[in-house]
């Protein structure tokens, strides 16, 4: 597996090796031993998949507060997204900054998002299938979001803001300066 740095040393782009033949390809997307060897000691407990039909949908920016904070390993199984990660660790020099990574099914790139970061994505195509492993179970009482359009975050979403589709929950999320359960 090839591992690349992002603007945050803790957030990694992972590209599994694909073994191809006339039938297609095979890739190992997670191996506990390999992750530990690469400094990413995490035990995943739940797998999630989301389907998004329209292009221009934003999901996020989501996180779970302690004691149920989640690390995530995300990948696109069909389509293409712009994935965004925001540092929400108050003591970090990168607090409030973001990194953006394009993920698509064709490349197989995955993104490792450790605890202490909010996560979201924008669909760049129709009919996106997005998968993620998480290190803690969904905990509704610890579920949090930050407003995707927070001007303090200054995220350049690649879609006309008048055409963006968001859930009611994400549209009503607080700005970072008012968010609770930060790290």
What are the residue numbers of the active site?
62, 132
Q: Look up tokens 């302690």; give the residue.
A: 66
167 CB-near residues (< 8 Å, 6+ apart): 59
User: What's the count of helices (H) and strands (E) in the chain, helices before strands?
Assistant: 2, 13
- Angle among Cα 18, 113, 167 to the nearest 5 degrees reads 105
Strand, coil or helix: 57? strand
**Which string of DSSP letters, residue by residue, matches 114-170?**
-TTEEEEEEESSSSEEEEEEESS---GGGEEE--TT-TTT----SS-TTT-B--HHH
Answer whether 49's CB lies under 8 Å from 130's CB: yes
Q: Is 141 left (phi over 0), alpha (psi -120 to 50) or beta?
A: alpha
């Amino acid at each position: 597996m090839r591992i690349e740095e992002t603007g945050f040393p803790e957030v990694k782009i992972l590209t599994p090796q694909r073994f191809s033949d006339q039938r297609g390809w095979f890739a190992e997307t997670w191996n506990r031993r390999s992750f530990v060897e690469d400094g990413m000691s995490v035990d995943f407990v739940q797998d999630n998949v989301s389907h998004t039909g329209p292009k221009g949908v934003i999901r996020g920016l989501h996180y779970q507060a302690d004691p149920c904070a989640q690390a995530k390993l995300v990948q696109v199984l069909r389509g293409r997204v712009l994935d965004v990660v925001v540092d929400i660790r108050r003591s970090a020099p990168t607090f409030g900054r973001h990194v953006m990574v394009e993920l698509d099914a064709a490349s197989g790139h995955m993104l490792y998002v450790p605890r202490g970061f909010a996560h979201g994505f924008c669909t760049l195509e129709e009919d996106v299938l997005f998968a993620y492993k998480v290190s803690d179970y969904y905990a509704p009482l610890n579920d949090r979001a930050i407003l995707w359009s927070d001007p303090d975050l200054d995220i350049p979403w690649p879609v006309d803001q008048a055409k963006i589709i968001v859930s009611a929950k994400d549209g009503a999320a607080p700005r970072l300066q008012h968010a609770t359960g930060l790290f």
